[in-house]
Amino acid sequence: MLFALICNDKPGHLQLRMDTRPDHVAYLTGLNDKGVLKIAGPFLDPDGKPNGSMLVVEAENEEAARAIAAGDPYAMAGLFASTDIRPWNWTFNKPEGA
């Protein structure tokens, strides 16, 4: 089952995001290597600076998706003001094998 993880940064925490980014990228790379991560990327503020994240992951259930979200180094560093986890259906432009 697919889940969208919609994460909003705490205001004024860009430096924490940048400092934690290498660990975050390594975490996502590991999820990708396991076939768990489907898509990911940052939300941007009006100045083009990242201020949140959206990931789509494959997980057995919502509890497993929550565990994936909690294991993200950004979440562990306290970057996010909120994280919304929602079941998601990939309807259009799904790559073959995804």
**Taking a C-beta distance cutoff of 8 angstroms, is the pair 57, 36 a contact?**
yes
Confirm if 57 and 3 have CB atoms less than 8 A apart.
yes
Domain holding 83, by residue range, is: 2-88
Model pTM? 0.93
pLDDT digits (tens, 9 = 90+) for 62-75: 999 999 999 999 99
Residue 97's SS3 state is coil
What is the total count of domains within the chain?
1
Tell me what pLDDT residue 94 has: 87
For residue 97, being part of any structural domain is answered with no
Cα 75 to Cα 10, 80, 82, 92, 97, distances in angstroms: 11, 6, 9, 29, 29
CATH number at residue 43: 3.30.70.1060
Let me know if residue 98 belongs to a domain.
no
